[in-house]
Structure 1
Amino acid sequence: MKSLRIFLVFIYFYAFLLVGQAGAKAQNTSSITVTENAEFAIELGKCQKMDGVKITFLEVLEDSRCPKDVDCVWAGQARIKISIEEKGKASFEKEILFDALGKEIVIHTTETAIIKAIALSPYPMTSIPKKDRTYYLEVIPI
């Protein structure tokens, strides 16, 4: 199931990159129509608009998750910072903590949707240095 989710996220990004290259200007913001249970991802430094809410993935504060190819005593965690702007309301920043349990985290609620963070990708591997990782926040509106 997790492999399928990761595969679908990468397919989404590949299609997104192809569409983005067709435009004359690169933009940091894109809009989507909220579809219940349709996962999408936000690249580090980019933002996504949906249902009148703009979510910006600002920063990876910590990524001490145990790499997939290592046996660790502690599973580690990842912390990120996002910005949330909702039409007619003041924007605010929020920290999200991903622990070893892998549970979904409610990051924002509107009148029509609940927006949850489901994962931070990619999961660390010793073969890929942290400086070479392109992080994505995986999100799902419910």
Structure 2
Amino acid sequence: MRYLAFIILIFSFTSCDKKIIDNLGSDLPLNKEFVIENGSTKNNLEENISLQMVSVANDSRCPSDVECVWEGDAEVNLVFNSALGIHPIILHTNLASKDTTIGTFTISLIKLDPYPISTKVISQSEYKATIFVTKHD
């Protein structure tokens, strides 16, 4: 009876390890929005791609507590790595370059958080981008 319990225990750990490995490969999902923190990297092992958020530059978005003539813009600097190589990308929150296509993948910036307020300076470590990646055949 102890032997049977030991076998069941071994199988349960093995199935848990498989789920952990599957989850590690899917932190960069396709066709689904995901959030990436500044300085972090997301991977998709199945597609052999990764996306790193490097920095945010020129954040001139109009603070939410101020009335502005123009809503402003911010640049999100990313690095996309695929079988085609390493590709630096700059996506904008307001201008035409909200997305880019590299090979069969399109990377789109959905939003950038936090949104500015006039009384607070946003540090690089606070930025998070919502991204959407699609694969085209």
Query: Helix, strand or coil for the counterpart of 2:126?
Result: coil
Amino acid at match of 2:107: I
Counterparts of residues 1-142 of structure 1 (less than 5 Å):
31-32=25-26, 34-36=29-31, 38-50=32-44, 51-87=47-83, 89-99=84-94, 105-109=98-102, 111=104, 113-131=105-123, 134-142=126-134
TM-score, normalised to structure 1, is 0.63
Q: Can you give the 5+ residue segments of structure 2 that lack an aligned partner in the other structure?
A: 1-23
Count the aligned residue pairs.
108
For 1:70 and 1:55, locate their aligned partners in 2 and report how far apart those are by CA, in whole Å.
33
Instruction: Give the RMSD, CA atoms, in angstroms.
Output: 2.5
- In the TM superposition, structure 1's runs of 4+ consecutive aligned residues that sit over 6 Å from their partners are none
Amino acid at match of 1:106: D
Amino acid at match of 1:98: T
For 2:54 and 2:66, locate their aligned partners in 1 and report how far apart those are by CA, in whole Å.
28
Q: 1:41, 1:138 within 8 Å by CA — same for their partners in 2?
A: yes
| Identical pairs, percent | 23
Per-residue displacement from partner, 1:115-134 (whole Å, max 9, x unpaired)? 32211111111243223861
Per-residue displacement from partner, 1:87-116 (whole Å, max 9, x unpaired)? 3x321211112117xx883334554x5332
Amino acid at match of 1:39: E
